[in-house]
């Protein structure tokens, strides 16, 4: 018996495929995205509305460039150097002197404020495109914010002038002392004395001009409310942050989720074993447990027929075979898969026996709506004969098989019957082995539904007397580690692993079955279309 290996090299994913994959992640993780999109704006609004009202006022101060006083003195003014940004930052840092803040609080007549409090609620910024300083003050009272901003700018003007005048006064004092010394020495008519007198007049002129270096051009007007922000703006900002947070959480959750979500992920985990087919979720409804019977022309039935063909090609052993179908864990769709596959083989003209050996969670009898009756357990214990435990399921013969004289297919079911008290011992008993040998001689193919391989040891026991095994993996349910363990179990079992069947789908999966012959319409409509 040979295995079918996948051929060809995978094509590189296109941009549209990657985009669809990303959108698929967002679709799968909608339970993360939707709460983030709703909660984030609500929380942002709640936090913002709880903030106390705060107002902001700004006064603009113009700094003269060039400095006339420095020009008269014949010295270079740092404010007129080529590094304009540094000069502006120097003035802004000078405005942060605590003495300026203390004077501003006093001038504004706000005794409840302190100099450190004003410095913490104020900012001084140099305009990079103009010789302007912006004095901004924030306060819960708009009037206080306005008065403090204006007083802050005014007091900085006075403080800056005082600093410059103080330096000039020290120079004047030094010049006066030199002049007194020269007069005492009788050198009042010397050239040095004349130069010092000129310097003294120049320094006195500088003191008179220092106040013109800066001026308040825009006093603080009406204070603008900065907190809380308008609800619509806050909600928009919260929504924008929520979108970014939701996308990040979605991809994080998808990265942390180790479940197999796509066929590509499954194929990379199978260690070379082929994927025989993919079955979508079967149609819902009471009469749709076996889609091959309820809707033989439907999407699910077409996928089962494709699986039947690939399974027949993968299995090259001549003669009747016992093929067991199992899964890694429960609820992966193995019973539904083997039941529909049995009908597909029977409709293909083969004698099929479906044996339910899942003695722990028997599903075959309920899928086919069989009444309670003796089954495999009763036959193995010798309570009834095999003929009395087998139930024939009617399969409609295809017209072409009748016309060509081909043998119509048959489907017989051997259910579990009464649940055994020791299921693990029963499946390995000689009675079960004899029953399977008799079923092999009776049919072309025997399909066996077994328990999940990683849950109990029954499947490995059954693999000892089965010819081949097919694994079923449900997308979005089983973790990669479980699938790898499942693959190791199949490859080490006595039965030959034919491959895997992927069942179900997840949001964002781009799988779609191409139903070329699906829903051709009623026969009357087809005849009418042909006549036209």
Q: Is the predicted pLDDT of residue 447 greater than 80, yes or no?
A: yes
Looking at residue 507, what is its pLDDT? 55
Assess whether 222 and 327 both reside in one domain.
no
The CATH number that applies at residue 354 is: 3.40.50.300
The CATH number that applies at residue 119 is: 3.30.1890
Assess whether 112 and 67 both reside in one domain.
yes
Rounded mean pLDDT, 128-135: 87
| Three-state secondary-structure class, residue 380 | helix
Q: How confident is the model at residue 124 (pLDDT cuts 50, 70, 90)?
A: very high
Assess whether 474 and 358 both reside in one domain.
yes
Beta-carbon contacts of 474 under 8 Å, excluding residues fewer than 6 positions away, are: 327, 331, 332, 333, 502, 503, 504
Assess whether 217 and 243 both reside in one domain.
no
Of 44 and 161, the structure prediction assigns the larger pLDDT to: 44
Residue 339 lies in a domain: yes
Q: For residue 510, how many other CB atoms are within 10 A of its CB?
A: 13
Looking at residue 94, what is its pLDDT? 86
Beta-carbon contacts of 450 under 8 Å, excluding residues fewer than 6 positions away, are: 324, 325, 326, 334, 357, 358, 458, 459, 462
Looking at residue 70, what is its pLDDT? 54
- The mean of the pLDDT values for the chain is 81
Q: Which domain holds residue 204?
A: 54-227
SS (H, E, C) 433-489: HHHHHHHHHHCCEEEEECCCCCCCCHHHHHCCCCCEEEEEEECCCCEHHHHHHHHHH
Q: Which long-range contacts (CB under 8 A, 24 or more apart) does 8-15 make?
A: none
Per-residue model confidence as pLDDT tens digits over 508-530: 555 544 445 444 444 444 333 33
Q: Where are the alpha helices (DSSP H) in 80-214?
A: 84-94, 98-107, 115-121, 142-184, 191-209
Identify the residue whose tokens are 């005014």. Answer: 154
Per-residue model confidence as pLDDT tens digits over 285-307: 544 468 898 888 888 899 999 99
Assess whether 335 and 247 both reside in one domain.
no
Rounded mean pLDDT, 379-402: 80
**φ, ψ at 265 (rounded to 5°):** -65, -40
Residue 1 lies in a domain: no
The helix/strand count (H/E) of the chain reads as 22, 13
Residue 20 lies in a domain: no
Per-residue model confidence as pLDDT tens digits over 223-259: 888 888 788 888 888 889 889 998 998 888 888 888 8
Per-residue model confidence as pLDDT tens digits over 164-204: 777 677 777 787 777 778 777 777 778 887 877 777 777 77
Q: Which two tokens stand for residue 503?
A: 């069942």
Answer for the pair 450, 458: CB distance below 8 angstroms, yes or no.
Answer: yes
Residue 68 lies in a domain: yes
Assess whether 111 and 145 both reside in one domain.
yes
Beta-carbon contacts of 282 under 8 Å, excluding residues fewer than 6 positions away, are: 288, 289, 291, 300, 336, 340
Q: How confident is the model at residue 222 (pLDDT cuts 50, 70, 90)?
A: confident
* CA 184 – CA 178 distance, rounded (Å): 10
In the Cβ-directed half-sphere of 390, how many Cα atoms lie within 13 Å?
A: 19
Q: What is the CA radius of gyration of the chain?
A: 46
Identify the residue whose tokens are 């040095």. Answer: 192
Answer for the pair 291, 297: CB distance below 8 angstroms, yes or no.
Answer: no
Looking at residue 412, what is its pLDDT? 95
Count of the separate structural domains present in the chain: 3
Looking at residue 527, what is its pLDDT? 39
Measuring CA to CA, which residue among 174, 178, 199 is closest to residue 72? 199
Q: Which two tokens stand for residue 334?
A: 């193995």
Residue 212 lies in a domain: yes
Percentage of the chain with pLDDT > 70?
82
Residue 12 lies in a domain: no
SS (H, E, C) 155-189: HHHHHHHHHHHHHHHHHHHHHHHHHHHHHHCCCCC
Lowest mean pLDDT among 404-408, 418-422, 448-452: 404-408
Answer for the pair 308, 347: CB distance below 8 angstroms, yes or no.
Answer: no
Assess whether 245 and 284 both reside in one domain.
no
Q: Is the predicted pLDDT of residue 269 greater than 80, yes or no?
A: yes
Assess whether 364 and 510 both reside in one domain.
yes
Rounded mean pLDDT, 159-163: 79
Q: How confident is the model at residue 67 (pLDDT cuts 50, 70, 90)?
A: low
Assess whether 113 and 136 both reside in one domain.
yes
Whole-prediction pTM: 0.61
Assess whether 210 and 324 both reside in one domain.
no
Assess whether 359 and 465 both reside in one domain.
yes
Residue 3 lies in a domain: no
Assess whether 343 and 462 both reside in one domain.
yes
Q: Is the predicted pLDDT of residue 349 greater than 60, yes or no?
A: yes
Residue 18 lies in a domain: no
């Amino acid at each position: 018996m040979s295995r079918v290996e996948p051929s060809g090299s995978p094509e590189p994913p296109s941009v549209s495929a990657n985009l669809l994959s990303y959108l698929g992640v967002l679709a799968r993780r909608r339970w993360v995205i939707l709460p983030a999109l709703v909660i984030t704006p609500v929380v942002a609004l709640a936090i913002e509305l709880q903030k106390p009202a705060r107002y902001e006022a700004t006064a603009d101060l113009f700094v003269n460039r060039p400095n006339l006083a420095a020009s008269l003195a014949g010295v270079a003014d740092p404010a007129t150097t080529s590094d304009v940004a540094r000069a502006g930052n120097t003035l802004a840092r000078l405005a942060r002197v605590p003495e300026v803040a203390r004077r501003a609080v006093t001038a504004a007549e706000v005794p409840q404020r302190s100099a450190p409090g004003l410095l913490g609620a104020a900012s001084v910024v140099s305009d990079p495109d103009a010789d302007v300083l912006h004095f901004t003050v924030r306060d819960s009272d708009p009037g206080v914010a306005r008065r403090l901003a204006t007083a802050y700018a005014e007091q900085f003007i006075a403080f800056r002038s005082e600093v410059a005048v103080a330096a000039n006064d020290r120079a004047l004092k030094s010049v006066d002392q030199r002049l007194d010394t020269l007069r005492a020495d009788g050198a009042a008519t010397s050239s040095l004395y004349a130069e010092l007198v000129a310097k003294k007049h120049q320094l006195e002129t500088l003191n008179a001009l220092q106040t013109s270096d800066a001026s308040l051009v825009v006093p603080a007007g009406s204070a603008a409310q900065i907190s809380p922000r308008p609800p619509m703006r806050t909600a928009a900002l919260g929504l924008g942050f929520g979108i970014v947070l939701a996308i990040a959480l979605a991809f994080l959750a998808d990265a942390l989720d180790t479940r197999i979500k796509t066929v590509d992920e499954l194929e990379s985990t199978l260690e070379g074993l082929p994927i025989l087919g993919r079955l979508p979720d079967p149609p819902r409804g009471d009469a749709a447990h076996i889609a091959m019977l309820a809707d033989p022309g439907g999407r699910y039935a077409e996928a089962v027929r494709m699986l039947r063909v690939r399974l027949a090609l993968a299995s090259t052993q001549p003669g009747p075979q016992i093929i067991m179908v199992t899964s890694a864990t429960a609820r992966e769709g193995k019973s539904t898969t083997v039941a529909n596959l049995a009908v597909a083989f029977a409709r293909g003209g083969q004698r099929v026996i479906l044996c339910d050996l899942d003695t722990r969670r028997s599903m075959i009898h309920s899928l086919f709506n069989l009444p309670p009756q003796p089954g495999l357990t009763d036959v193995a214990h010798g309570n009834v004969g095999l003929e009395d435990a087998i139930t024939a399921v009617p399969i409609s013969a295809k017209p072409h098989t009748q016309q060509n004289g081909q043998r119509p297919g048959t489907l017989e079911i051997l259910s579990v019957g009464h649940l055994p008290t020791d299921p693990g011992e029963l499946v390995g008993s000689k009675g079960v082995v004899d029953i399977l040998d008799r079923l092999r001689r009776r049919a072309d193919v025997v399909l066996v539904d077994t328990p999940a391989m990683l849950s109990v040891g029954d499947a490995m026991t059954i693999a000892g007397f089965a010819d081949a095994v097919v694994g079923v993996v449900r997308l979005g349910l089983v973790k990669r580690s479980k699938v790898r363990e499942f693959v190791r179990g199949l490859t080490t079992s006595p039965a030959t692993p034919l491959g895997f069947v992927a069942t179900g789908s997840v949001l964002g999966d781009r799988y779609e079955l191409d139903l070329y012959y699906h829903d051709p319409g009623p026969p009357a409509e087809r005849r009418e279309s042909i006549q036209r």
